Structure 1
């Protein structure tokens, strides 16, 4: 018995990465449309309703439109856009944080930046180490592939372009899911940037430990993270404090998530850091992981480890 899967938006960066991870699987059959019918609404409606599971790799408005085209209760959906990440009736696709993806009919894939942020912050809020009303800042750099075709073309065509800071007007679309799924009273101050690397991401949350009402030790923070991700094969909580963390310009795909806690000897300040592939655990890898859970397949099949 095979599961039929339709990737709507399979020609985009995330869609292509998902297809690569699903290639050769005997438990799946891919529903595809010829290039000249990819934007034909009647053809898409038919494919969306014929498939057992649909993965949406579309802009937000197109993703909402695609969901509206599904008129049967059988087809299950993974949405890789940001359209449904804080929407009612949708399960957030971060199973390591306790969301029941396996039983869900509608799953919203987390954003790449929020994946790192939530992995670092949600366990601390749940453990009572970080007050939910604490003002948080998150600094992050990503490979330029996360910006889609237009940004990829911009970096590829301009060899002088090395760094792009953006989201300067605040209100970035990733902030609502960071706030909601971490259980925060206030939206974090989000400072994203893009660097001249095709893929990869480092997400950092700085903490003034001494200013917290009950300052946690580095060991307590590590214990909370380790307890949350105990038995999670894709997430590693590192105990060391390396002198540097690096992103490679031409890194290979990777579906893992690595977490570190850096702190000064006096326990006054800390830097919580996550490293991941924005196209891996931050997009395509997460979608395949969620697909595996939804169809009862081995959880790591098809993933890049």
Structure 2
């Protein structure tokens, strides 16, 4: 019997990509409602009652209202994946990062309510959690995170600004240092100290690089490039979407080569003589950073 899926907010960037990824898959039936009914609570309630899974691709406040509607349905409630940032650190929600730690994939598979990670947070946590878990990075380390994303992550207004030539070639933003992805980075990275996080956007549609510099001599055990890479290899062993690389010399890295996939590459760059390193996560901000992650979580929840 096909699993019935309703994408609430299917007209947005993430919703459209989720629908595209699910169309034509065997055992999946996509359910829609008319444009006029999308903001009608009674119409949405009826759809929620009739489907197996609802994927929320809504602004945060609308996602919170949708979650209340789900909770009110009691035993008739569908399972939920929330792609917004509304519930990423909320009690009762399972964090939809299956590679986070041992058992996280199983937790997602069993969950009634799953919250998708943010795109910047996906890269930051992918870099930090293996190092804190391995003891190479202490919980109280003071960390700085840089991240650059394609403009598609900024929603309709940013996409229009870039594609009409009105936006700058590159810009830093959230310089009040209160970006909405920080709470989940703090909670799931294994850090006890709030990191400094500076996001940026460039004039390319999609793709992402998240980077964290490391002073190797300041870390416990004074690790080498090989030690850092081994931590990633061990943490992500057997995970289909992750691969780690050790890079040296005058290497370069660009953000777009993984577009259209659900993969993450972890790169470890080091200058051993200076005892400096930088770790970089490369992935598609609309793939593993958004719609791809939602579909991965859905497949786990459906046992596929």
* Partner Cα distance (2:284, 2:88) in 1: 20
Aligned residue in 1 for 2:80: 77
* Partner Cα distance (1:48, 1:267) in 2: 57
Please list the CA deviations of residues 213-243 of structure 1 after superposition, one character each: whole Å capped at 9, or x if unmatched. 4321111111111111101111111234471
SS at match of 1:131: coil
Indicate the larger mover: 210-219 or 162-171. Answer: 210-219
Contact 1:4 1:51 survives alignment (8 Å)? yes
Moved over 3 A (4+): 239-242
Structure 2 segments unaligned to the other structure (5+ residues): none
* Partner Cα distance (1:233, 1:147) in 2: 28
1:150 CA displacement: 1.1
Q: Given the superposition, is the C-alpha separation of residues 103 and 33 from structure 1 closer, same or farther in structure 2, using an over 3 Å criterion?
A: same
Q: Spell out the pairing of 1:156-195 with structure 2 (5 A cutoff).
A: 156-158=163-165, 161-195=168-202
Task: Report the count of equivalent residues.
Answer: 296
Structure 1 segments unaligned to the other structure (5+ residues): 298-305
SS at match of 1:260: strand
Q: Given the superposition, is the C-alpha separation of residues 30 and 160 from structure 1 closer, same or farther in structure 2, using an over 3 Å criterion?
A: closer
Please list the CA deviations of residues 124-149 of structure 1 after superposition, one character each: whole Å capped at 9, or x if unmatched. 10111100000000001000010111
Contact 2:236 2:242 survives alignment (8 Å)? yes
Over the residues paired in the alignment, what is the CA RMSD in angstroms? 1.5
Aligned with 1:231 (options 238, 244, 247): 238
Q: Spell out the pairing of 1:292-303 with structure 2 (5 A cutoff).
A: 292-297=299-304
Contact 2:151 2:204 survives alignment (8 Å)? yes
Aligned residue in 2 for 1:90: 93
Q: Spell out the pairing of 1:1-305 with structure 2 (5 A cutoff).
A: 1-70=1-70, 71-73=73-75, 74-98=77-101, 99=104, 100-158=107-165, 161-241=168-248, 243-248=251-256, 252-266=259-273, 268-297=275-304
* Partner Cα distance (2:8, 2:54) in 1: 7
Please list the CA deviations of residues 146-166 of structure 1 after superposition, one character each: whole Å capped at 9, or x if unmatched. 011111111122256211210
| TM-score, normalization by structure 2 | 0.94
Indicate the larger mover: 142-151 or 64-73. Answer: 64-73
* Partner Cα distance (1:157, 1:41) in 2: 36
* Partner Cα distance (1:226, 1:200) in 2: 23
1:105 CA displacement: 0.7
